[in-house]
């Protein structure tokens, strides 16, 4: 019976390590990037940025896939939030895999599950960006989808957030078609209002700026689901896509016109996006650093990652944080299984040897 006890200990150790400890071990390698300039270093903003968790819904995907991969997303996020203690967390769209396919009751259950998985301590905001799987592509957007996303997650179109004097503009990429649709017109109006607000922060003494919020001005940071226009990941200075795919405007990336409009109205200094499921760092069409954040889910990427950004009003440093790879967990369980087989084989060999020795002894007694 000792070999059964040994196998039980091996499997239990593998289970505890893979499901409760490994995320902390892997994420210990990540650290907040440090700004070397002395100004503002005493109190920088620390933002954790992830994308495309794609929580499975009732229609697609196997229940075991849903259970196991979402369990690991939860473990990874909780380990990261405890280790890094960010000031704010941004999720760059496609929170749900079937957000534009479910009933209102199912969507409510979706949101409950999402907020439970990505739970943060009080005082740390979780800012969720709309993605095409949440409210549909441009052709599918409907007031019903848009209003319920906004009512449950407090964001659906264009919003300006100011945290520690850092200005973030969160954008609904699907409303950037500029074709005169209701959502596009509304988004453009909101962008123009934000542009005026930023202008008044920069020039507070102008007459038209008398009633504007008195935050100090700094160039804003764009956060959205679609990347700004690029032809493919060949434009990236760094990327981890396994193959290069040509990108379509308005489907994989924003159009040239929408990208130029954002540059003209907002004059941003930095941009973050998701959607492609792969990491990319590029200098985009606007001449600024843009980071496309990889998917947070094993279902979309076997080696997921997220971004850590240290930001001040006049500087920023960004680093990529690699998460627990799916293959590592599989290999750990495979190794535990092989080790159990070795223990069982060794025990069987001992039993066979004992029987042979016993048979030989009985044979000698007979003779």
Per-residue HEC secondary structure of 44-78 comes to CEEEEEEECCCECCCCCCCHHHHHHHHHHHHHHHH
Are 41 and 314 in contact by the 8 Å Cβ rule? The answer is no
Q: Rounded distance, CA 217 to CA 86, Å?
A: 23
Tokens of 196: 């005026």
Share of the chain above pLDDT 70, in %: 93
Q: Rounded distance, CA 322 to CA 313, Å?
A: 27
Are 305 and 294 in contact by the 8 Å Cβ rule? The answer is yes
Q: Report, as an integer, the average pLDDT of 215-221.
A: 92
Q: What separation, in Å, do the N-terminal and C-terminal C-alpha atoms of the chain show?
A: 34
Residue 67's pLDDT is 79
Share of the chain above pLDDT 90, in %: 63
Residue 210's pLDDT is 72
Better-scored residue on pLDDT, 64 or 275: 275
Are 322 and 240 in contact by the 8 Å Cβ rule? The answer is no
The DSSP letter of residue 19 is I
Are 18 and 333 in contact by the 8 Å Cβ rule? The answer is yes
pLDDT tier at 4, thresholds 50, 70, 90: confident
pTM higher than 0.75, yes or no? yes
Q: Name 246's Cβ contacts closer than 8 Å, sequence gap at least 6.
A: 231, 232
Give the model confidence (pLDDT) of 159-189 as tens digits.
999 999 999 999 999 999 878 888 899 999 9
Domain ranges of the chain: 1-30+329-360, 31-324
Which whole-number Å values give the CA distances from 91 to 17, 52, 256, 272, in the listed order? 27, 7, 24, 10
pLDDT tier at 41, thresholds 50, 70, 90: low
Are 259 and 228 in contact by the 8 Å Cβ rule? The answer is yes
Are 48 and 306 in contact by the 8 Å Cβ rule? The answer is yes
pLDDT tier at 364, thresholds 50, 70, 90: low
pLDDT tier at 60, thresholds 50, 70, 90: confident
Span of 94-103, 271-280, 337-346 with lowest mean pLDDT: 337-346
Tokens of 121: 């301590």
Q: In what order do the strands lie in the sheet containing 270-273?
A: 158-163, 166-171, 221-224, 270-273, 289-292, 280-283, 238-239
Tokens of 35: 């700004």
Across the chain, mean pLDDT equals: 89
Q: Rounded distance, CA 232 to CA 128, Å?
A: 26
pLDDT tier at 3, thresholds 50, 70, 90: low
Q: Rounded distance, CA 187 to CA 123, Å?
A: 28
Assigned CATH class of 31-324: alpha beta
What DSSP assignment string belongs to 319-340?
A: EEEE---HHHHHHHHHHHHHHH
Are 197 and 212 in contact by the 8 Å Cβ rule? The answer is yes
β-partners of residue 306 are 321
Better-scored residue on pLDDT, 333 or 284: 284
Residue 10's pLDDT is 83
Q: In what order do the strands lie in the sheet containing 88-91?
A: 126-128, 88-91, 45-50, 305-312, 315-322
> Is 70's pLDDT higher than 70?
yes
Query: Taking the C-alpha atoms of 136, 141, 147 and 152 in order, what is their torsion angle to the nearest 10 degrees?
Result: 10
Per-residue HEC secondary structure of 82-147 comes to HHHCCCEEEECCCCECCCCCCCHHHHHHHHHHHHHHCCCCCCCCEEECCCHHHHCCHHHCCHHHHH
């Amino acid at each position: 019976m000792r070999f059964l006890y040994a196998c039980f200990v091996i499997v239990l150790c593998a289970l505890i390590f893979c499901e409760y400890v490994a995320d902390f071990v892997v994420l210990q390698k990540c650290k907040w990037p440090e700004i070397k300039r002395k100004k503002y270093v005493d109190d920088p903003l620390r933002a954790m940025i992830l994308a495309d968790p794609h929580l499975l819904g009732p229609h697609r995907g196997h229940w075991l896939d849903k259970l196991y991969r979402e369990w690991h997303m939860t473990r990874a996020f909780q380990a990261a939030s405890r280790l890094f203690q960010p000031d704010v967390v941004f999720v760059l769209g496609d929170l749900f895999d079937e957000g534009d396919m479910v009933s209102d009751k199912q969507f409510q259950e979706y949101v409950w599950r999402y907020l439970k998985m990505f739970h943060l301590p009080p005082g740390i905001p979780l800012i969720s960006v709309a993605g095409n799987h949440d409210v549909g592509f441009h052709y599918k957007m409907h007031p019903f989808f848009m209003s319920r996303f906004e009512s449950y997650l407090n964001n659906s179109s264009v919003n300006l957030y100011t945290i520690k004097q850092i200005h973030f503009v969160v954008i609904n990429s699907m409303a950037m078609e500029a074709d005169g649709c209701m959502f596009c017109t509304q988004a453009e109006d909101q962008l123009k209002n934000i542009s005026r607000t930023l202008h008044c922060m920069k020039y507070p003494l102008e007459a038209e700026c008398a009633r504007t919020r008195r935050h100090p001005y700094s160039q804003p940071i764009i956060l959205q689901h679609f990347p700004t226009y690029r032809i493919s990941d060949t434009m990236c200075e760094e990327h981890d896509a396994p193959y290069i795919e040509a990108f379509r405007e308005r489907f994989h990336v924003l159009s040239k016109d929408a990208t130029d409009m954002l540059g003209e109205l907002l004059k941003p200094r930095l941009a973050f996006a998701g959607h492609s499921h792969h990491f990319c760092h590029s200098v985009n069409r606007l001449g600024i650093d843009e980071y496309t954040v990889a998917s947070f889910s094993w279902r979309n990427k076997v080696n997921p990652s997220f971004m850590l950004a240290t930001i001040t009003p006049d500087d920023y440093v960004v680093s990529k944080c690699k998460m627990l790879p799916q293959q590592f967990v599989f290999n750990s369980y495979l190794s535990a299984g092989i080790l159990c087989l070795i223990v069982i084989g060794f025990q069987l060999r001992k039993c066979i040897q004992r029987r042979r020795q016993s048979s030989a002894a009985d044979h000698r007694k007979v003779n």
